[in-house]
Chain A
Amino acid sequence: MGHKIFFCMFVFLAVSCLHKVDVENSVDKPARVIQCAGSDTIVNVSQAWAEKYREIEKNISVEVSGGGSGTGIAGLMNGTLDIANSSRKITHEEFEKIVKERGKEPVEHIVGYDALAVFVNKNNPIEEISLEELAEIYGENGTIERWSQLGINMPVPDRDKIIVTSRQSNSGTYFYFREVVVGKKRDFRLGTIDLHGSKEVVELVGRTINAIGYTGMGYARDEVKMLRISKKRGEKSIAASIDSVLDHSYPIARPLFIYTCGEPPDYVQKFIDWIYAEEAQDLLMKSGFVPVKLGKITNVVKDKIEKR
C-alpha cells in the first residue's frame, strides 16, 4: 500500500514542477532594464522607487544594488550602469575620467537630503550644541561626559552623566556622523549604546532624560527635542528644518545625488523625472530623508567644479 502513496507524491511533485516552469514562462519580460547602483545610504529608497515604478511603467524594470558611492560612479565610468547613486559629490578626477572614457559629461541630480538631527529628551533644558562639543561627547578620548560640563543643570538629580547612544557600525548614518562630527581620523568613544535602528534611538532618548542620540531628521517625535547646531561654540546655531537644509545653513546635512552619463535616453529620463514627483518624494521622506521641495535641480557638474 505504501508505494501508492509514494507514487502519488511523485506525481504531485512532477506536476508542481511543470506548473512552476509554466508560471515562469508566462511572466512578461520587461522591455527595458534601468541599471542603478551605488550608495548604501540611498539603496533602500532606490529600491522603494524601483518597486513603485514597476506598478506605473509595466515594461520597465529598475534594478538596484548597493556597494557604495564609489562603486556606483565606477559603474558609470565603464558603462554598466544607467544611474549611479551617490551620497557624495563626484570628484574632479572621476568627472574627467568619465568624460575621457565615455565622451560625455556626467549629469548631476539632487534627489533629496540626508539631514541628521541631534536628539535629546524633551525635558532636557539644553537647546543648542556645537559640532566641537558633539565631537568631545562622541569621540574617542572625548572630554565631555557630563551635562554640567555644557552648563546644563538636569532637572532630575543623579542624571548628570550623558548617556551616549549611537548606531551599529553597519549603518550609513554611523559613518556619516563619524565623518562630519567626530572627525575623519577619529573614532567613536567606547561605551556608546549602539542601537539597531533610527526608531530605537528616538525611543530610547524619549524615555531617558540624560541621553543624547543622532539620526535622520524624519524620525523626530513628541518625546524628543532636536537641538540647534552651530559649528563652533558661540556661533549662531541653526535649527534643523527643511528650509535650513535646503539653503545649506544646517551643518550636518548632505545632498543625495544620482548621476547619469550625459543626457540619458528617454526611458531613463522619464524615471528620473518621476523621482521628483510627489509620490517618489514621499517615499524618500518615509525613509527619513528630506525631500527636494524646490523641484528639479539639474546641473551639469562641470559648472560647479569650476566655481569651486
Chain B
Amino acid sequence: MKRTFLSRALEYLIELIIKLCGISAVIFIFAIFYFVFREGASFMFGKFKPLEFFTSPEWYPTSQSHVRYGALALILGTLSVTGLAMAIAVPFGIGAAIFISEFCSSRVKETLKILIELLAAIPSVVWGFIGLTVMNSLIIRIFDVPIGLTILNGGLILAMMSVPIIVSIGEDALKAVPDAYREAAEAMGATRWQIITRILLPAAKNGLLAAVLLGVGRAVGETMAVLMATGHSIRIPSSIFDPVRTLTATIAAELGETAVHSEHYQVLFIIGILLFVITFVINLTADFIVKGIREKK
C-alpha cells in the first residue's frame, strides 16, 4: 500500500500526541507544584506563624474572637492513622507477597493476583462507606466502646487499601531475586524458612522497602475513606479508640466553604503543601531505593 501524504501527516500527528502525553506528566507535576505554592505563598511568608502551626492543637479557622491555625492535632491524626495502617498492612502485605511468589501453585497465584488487583480498584469512597457503616458497628460491638469512628477504624480501612500496593510491588521484588540463590540455598540443605529469612528477604530488601514506602504514600494521601471513617474530631489521640481528624480530611471538609484567597483558604493550601512535601519525600525515597536495586544488578 502506497503511503499517501495524509497517512504520513497522521503518523506525524500521532507521534506528536504520544510525545505530548509523555511530557505531560512532567508539566502537570510542575503546574500542580506551582499552583499549590502560589495559593499558599502570600500567607506563608506573611502572617503565618509556623510555631503555632506545628505545635498547637488549636484549629479554630472560623473563630469570631480569636482565629488560630494550629495543625498539631491534624498532623498527629494523619501520623497515627497512617502508623496503625502500616503496622497492620506491612506484615500482611509482605507475608502475602512471600506466599504468592514462593509457596503457591501457579493457578492459585494467578487467582490471588487478580483478586488483589481487584482490591486495589475499589474506590476510596466505597472503603469510607464500609468504615462508616460496617466497621463502625463492628468496633462498637467487639471492643465495647461508645464510638466506632476511630483511629482503629481508619487504620484498618487504610491498611486494606495499601495492602494491594505492598503485595504487588513486594512480589515483583521477590520475583527479581535470581533463582540461582534459591537453588544454591537448597543445595546447602537450608529449610524454606531459612531460605526466606536469610536469603530472600535480605536480597529483596530494597524492593520490599520501596513497596512499604509506596503503601505509606497511599495511606498519607488518602482522603475520602479517612474523612468518613475517623470521626473528624480535632484532638491529640491517646489511644486507638479515639476519633481523630487528618490533614487531608480537613482540606476536603473546609475548602469548599472558605472565601477564595482568605487566610483560612491559604492555610488550607499550606496544609496541602505539607502533604505534598510528605508524599514527595516518601515517593522520592522509594524511587532512589528501587534505583539502587537496579544498579546493583
Contacts and interface: CB of A to CB of B under 8 A. Distances in A.
Interface stretch (A73-81, A108-116, A163-171): A163-171
B140 interface: yes
A195 B230 CA distance: 10
Interface residues of A, number: 28
A2 B222 CA distance: 42
B5 to A, nearest CB: 10
A159 interface: yes
Contacts of A61: none
A248 B147 CA distance: 36
B62 interface: yes
B134 interface: no
Interface in B85-139: 137
B146 A191 contact: no
Nearest to B9: A3
A272 to B, nearest CB: 29
B248 to A, nearest CB: 14
A194 B235 CA distance: 11
B234 interface: yes
A190 B147 contact: no
B256 A193 contact: no
Nearest to B258: A170
Interface stretch (A88-96, A205-213, A253-261): A205-213
A58 to B, nearest CB: 33
Contact of A186 (B65, B146, B232, B234): B65
Interface string B37-68: 00000000000000000000111111111100
A2 to B, nearest CB: 6
Interface in B242-297: 243, 245, 253-254, 256-257
B10 interface: yes
A43 B70 CA distance: 32
B225 to A, nearest CB: 14
B233 A169 contact: no
Contacts, number: 69
Contacts of A190: 57-59, 73, 234-235
B18 to A, nearest CB: 15
A180 to B, nearest CB: 13
A161 B60 CA distance: 24
B73 A193 contact: no
A185 interface: yes
Given A168-B253, A190-B57, A190-B58, A185 B64 contact: yes
B149 interface: yes
B7 interface: yes
B65 A196 contact: no
A117 B254 CA distance: 24
A192 B233 contact: yes
A3 B232 contact: no
Interface of A: 2-3, 6, 159, 161, 163, 168-170, 175, 178, 184-187, 190-196, 204, 207-211
- Which 3 pairs, one residue from A and one from B, show the smallest C-beta to C-beta distance? A170-B257, A191-B235, A185-B65
15 contacts: A3-B6, A6-B10, A161-B146, A163-B147, A168-B253, A169-B61, A169-B62, A170-B256, A190-B59, A192-B234, A193-B147, A193-B231, A193-B232, A194-B233, A208-B147
Given A192-B233, A193-B149, A193-B231, 20 more contacts: A3-B10, A159-B146, A169-B61, A170-B256, A187-B60, A187-B63, A187-B66, A190-B73, A190-B235, A191-B234, A192-B234, A193-B232, A193-B243, A194-B232, A194-B233, A195-B232, A204-B147, A207-B137, A208-B146, A210-B146
